[in-house]
Amino acid sequence: MMPKIALTLLLGSLTLAAQPSQKPLPEAERTRWFREAKFGLFIHWGPYAVIGRHEWARHRFQIPQAEYDKFARAFNPVNFSADAWAELAREAGVRYVVITSKHHDGFSIYRSQVSDYDMEITPYPGDPLKLLAEACRRQSLRFGFYHSIMDWHHPDYTPKRAWEVADPKTGGNLPRFIDFMKAQLRELLTGYGDIAVVWFDGEWEHSIEEMRSDEVYEFIRQLQPNTLINDRLYKRAPGNRADFGTPEQFVPATGLQDPSGKPILWESCVTINTDSWGYNKYETEFKTERDLIRMLIEVVSKGGNLLLNVGPTPDGRIQDEFQTRLRAMGRWLKVNGEAIYETTASPFARLPFFGRATAKGSTVYLHVFQWPSDGVLRVPGLDNRALSVRLLGQPAAKLALRHQGTDVLISPPAAAPDGIASVVALSLDGPPRVRPYVIQPDAGGVLRFGAESCEIETRFEQRAKKENFLGHVFLTRWIRADDVPTWTFAVPAAGRYRAEITYGAAGASKGTPFTISAGAAQVSGTVGNTQGDWVFKSFAVGELQLAAGEQTLQVKAAVRGGVNAMNLERVTLTPV
């Protein structure tokens, strides 16, 4: 075999022959496909799958490099079928696929001419990345790759792992490593056709200057001017040059904005399972198809994309738990896809019912999770005239609508066509013009904060979610203190209110401390036992002095030991 260093010298001459021909597009055109696609498939795959515990296995379990290399050499995906993967992606309704070309362990899951740590050291004779790129194009799926900046294998990368060496900051040559990274990017951007996305990760150990982020950005643009680049090349800093943001394992409460407050493109990357991105044979907890469909709707309603991850087995199969959920999402999208693809974010910052909204032109799509028990679906604060209404899951169904001030009242059929999410398409006389919905006191001055109308303020590894059962809508899986239900409300005048909280709780939840806060006012309590997690009872907590005007209410729980704090149904404030 020709030495790798010699092959590196050939890359320049190979580029012109292999480089895809692209005419640079204006930003709006370059990002159009991403804005319209809404749903992508993320794939984490590499030697860590042989261990079958976590993609960070070498670091987490402090596996020496020589020992880890045995797993890399044993990586042999004999059951890998690129066409089967691409067909599954198409069946799931995704529009693009992003796969790891190199994760933090430094192993390249393709046949690299500039690295000795790649598929050439395995028994597998092919190039999985090339096979998948070709299969995706046969299915009309856009194709991109994830590429880790951090590299635990390359001798030039620093810092080293603290458990391996005495001084992690010595012994490398980071500028030379960045040159190596660029050489691999050149391979990937000139040998695999048009690349939709370069998805960087592992950036947190270095500054933008050390990573030469602007240089790398321009390098990619020269090779493929229309490839999208994520924000991790710029350490996820607001206002950077990247094309989209990447919140991980959570859905932002209000989408993402730049420093001026302008919405930006973003994509939530989320696992179907709970613990890892790579294959984990010990994993027993998976999000349900109900969770995933509603998450997709929520992400799209906030102006984002969902990049949903699978971690294939070391022999190349996508496990059944992933396949069944992806196919369920595809079935839902076949019926309701017009309310997802090519839509824009909800025109409503908040809604009074349990559900979400998306929009396309003069049509608003109402994704209803809890069918109205009183037979009326209220759409608040529309300055438009509603022209017609239809139910995507039952095209022949007759729905009545009427106006009540600026609200539109829809009378749907008695039963929801879909227990997960039924979509009502409301046609208007033009693009939606909306007055913000804010919780207001009722005729008796009472404020009601139902779980259906809260947003969950959160960050990395969100666990809390909203759910409905037997007519109740509640916040559940509240096992992290960082997950905080939040409501926006307004009162016309300052006053004192008696606070009451309604929840279901049993067992270990009992005794969990919580606080209810509104502005500077706050009351505290502890969770009691309602004799069942889904047995809902109300408890007086104390009194709050509220200022006049618009403000937020939050409930925070001092979660203990990963136990669900409570199933929170609502907070009620009654004037004293």
Buried b / exposed e along 516-544 (16+ C-beta atoms within 10 A): bbbeebebebebbebeebbebeeeebeeb
Q: What is the pLDDT of residues 356-389, one digit of tens each?
A: 999 999 999 999 999 999 999 999 999 999 999 9
Q: What is the pLDDT of residues 52-73, one digit of tens each?
A: 999 999 999 999 999 999 999 9
Could you tell me which of 571, 533, 542, 572 has the C-alpha nearest to residue 555?
Answer: 571
Is it the case that residue 12 has pLDDT exceeding 70? Answer: no
Is it the case that residue 13 has pLDDT exceeding 70? Answer: no
**Three-state secondary structure string covering 451-493:** HHHCEEECCCCCCCEEEEECCEEEEECCCCCCCEEEEEEEECC
Task: State the pLDDT at residue 282.
Answer: 94
Q: What is the pLDDT of residues 133-177, one digit of tens each?
A: 999 999 999 999 999 999 999 999 999 999 999 999 998 999 999
pTM for the structure as a whole:
0.93
Q: What is the pLDDT of residues 109-137, one digit of tens each?
A: 999 999 999 999 999 999 999 999 999 99
Task: State the pLDDT at residue 561.
Answer: 84
Task: State the pLDDT at residue 224.
Answer: 97
Within 93-236, where are the H helices? Answer: 128-138, 174-191, 208-211, 213-223
459 — pLDDT class (breaks 50, 70, 90): confident
519 — pLDDT class (breaks 50, 70, 90): confident
Computed over every residue of the chain, the mean pLDDT equals: 94
What are the residues whose beta carbons fall under 8 Å from the beta carbon of 561, sequence distance 6 or more? 508
